[in-house]
Structure 1
Amino acid sequence: MTNEQTAAPAAEAAQAGGEIRNDCCTPLQEQLDAANAELARLREDMLRERADLENQRRRVARDIENARKFANERLLGDLLPVIDSLEAGLAQAGGDAAPLREGMELTLRQLLKVAADNGLCPIDPAGQPFNPEHHQAMSMVPPGEGQAENHVVQVYQKGWLLNERLLRPALVVVAQGG
């Protein structure tokens, strides 16, 4: 056989194989195209979800910052009438001390009401047993007549609880020893 005779069947076989290859590759190409389209859609969805998550993170951070910034808004708004009362009392006081004292007492009651409405309550432990969780002993003295040992005999400064959590301990003198 000559080269031409051998090449002809090889070319026919290659052509036939090419057609077979095209026939078997068409479904694979379609699957590949579908997979690439799905991948592109999933990438787009992922980017959209990532952007939504970032926007939500920024929104939460902004809300937290505003909450910190304006956390005392209600309390300070409640204190404005107390400030107004003090200013009015000082303006009207003049030289007489009695109206000034009455105005200060009224303003103190108003201030204590605002504090109580916001969860603040005083610790005034005079005559009560010493409680190291709420009291800070500044000194100790021997118990006097009518005073029990390990009880508070004098309060230098009241303590305060905020929603039942210690804000400031009471500074006290305790009866100790015999």
Structure 2
Amino acid sequence: MENKQHDAATEPEAAPEGTTDVSWLQSRVAELEDNWRRAMADLDNLRKRTARDTVQVRQRERRRAAKELLTVLDNLDLAIGHADADPKAVVSGVEAVRAQADTAMANLGFPRHADTKGTAFDPRLHEAVSVVPAAGVEPGTVVEVVRPGYGAAENQLRPAAVVVAKAD
């Protein structure tokens, strides 16, 4: 025979001996109403706590994202300060800052995908902005990246905008 445990809150109690059913039912209803009110208060407190926690998590993540960009902004300020320098040095500095920005995006979970030229078009990673005839290239191949994409297919911030080869 199976041994079953019963929850006292779900199983109705029998009226005690010597009491009228009406008075016992009234006290039982009052007890259940009290339990219900307590459960509703607990639920309301849970909602408030969840809303507060959500705000805190959002603020913490915004701070983390902003911190990732601080070094990039500092180095852009330095590049602007050296605008009168040799143009090759300025371009080199801007390229280094862009690399830092790419690193910041990767640290936030959105790595840059700009090197998809020559790969097969993938609608999960690419957005076709143009289709061109391309001799010597397999149809459906990315022939140019117009704008890089950020993030993996399952966590994508933006797909790469690409030009795709079509059959002649």
Shared topology, TM-score over 0.5?
A: yes
The aligned length equals: 151
Partner of 1:140, secondary structure, is strand
RMSD: 3.0
The residue that corresponds to 1:102 in the other structure is 92
Shift of 1:42: 6.9
Partner of 1:167, secondary structure, is strand
Share of identical aligned residues, percent? 32
Structure 2 unmatched runs, 5+: 1-16
Contact 2:102 2:112 (C-alpha < 8 Å) held by counterparts: no
Q: Does 1:67 align with 2:74?
A: no
TM-score with structure 1 length normalisation?
A: 0.66
The residue that corresponds to 1:139 in the other structure is 130
The residue that corresponds to 2:45 in the other structure is 55
- Alignment partners' CA distance in 2, 1:33 and 1:149: 84
Letter matched to residue 138 of structure 1:
V
- Alignment partners' CA distance in 1, 2:82 and 2:36: 69
Runs (4 or more) in structure 1 with deviation over 4 Å come to 32-50
- Alignment partners' CA distance in 2, 1:132 and 1:34: 68
- Alignment partners' CA distance in 1, 2:153 and 2:122: 18
- Alignment partners' CA distance in 2, 1:153 and 1:38: 76
Change (3 A) 1:97 1:59: same
Q: Does 1:129 align with 2:120?
A: yes
Shift of 1:121: 1.7
Partner of 2:101, secondary structure, is helix
TM-score with structure 2 length normalisation?
A: 0.69
Shift of 1:97: 1.8
Contact 1:119 1:163 (C-alpha < 8 Å) held by counterparts: no
For the pair shown, the structure with the greater C-alpha radius of gyration is 1
Deviations for 1:39-88, whole angstroms, at most 9, x for unmatched residues?
87776666555434432321222112332344322111111111111112
Q: Does 1:89 align with 2:97?
A: no
Letter matched to residue 127 of structure 1:
G
Change (3 A) 1:77 1:162: farther
Change (3 A) 1:49 1:139: closer
Shift of 1:128: 1.0
Shift of 1:102: 2.1
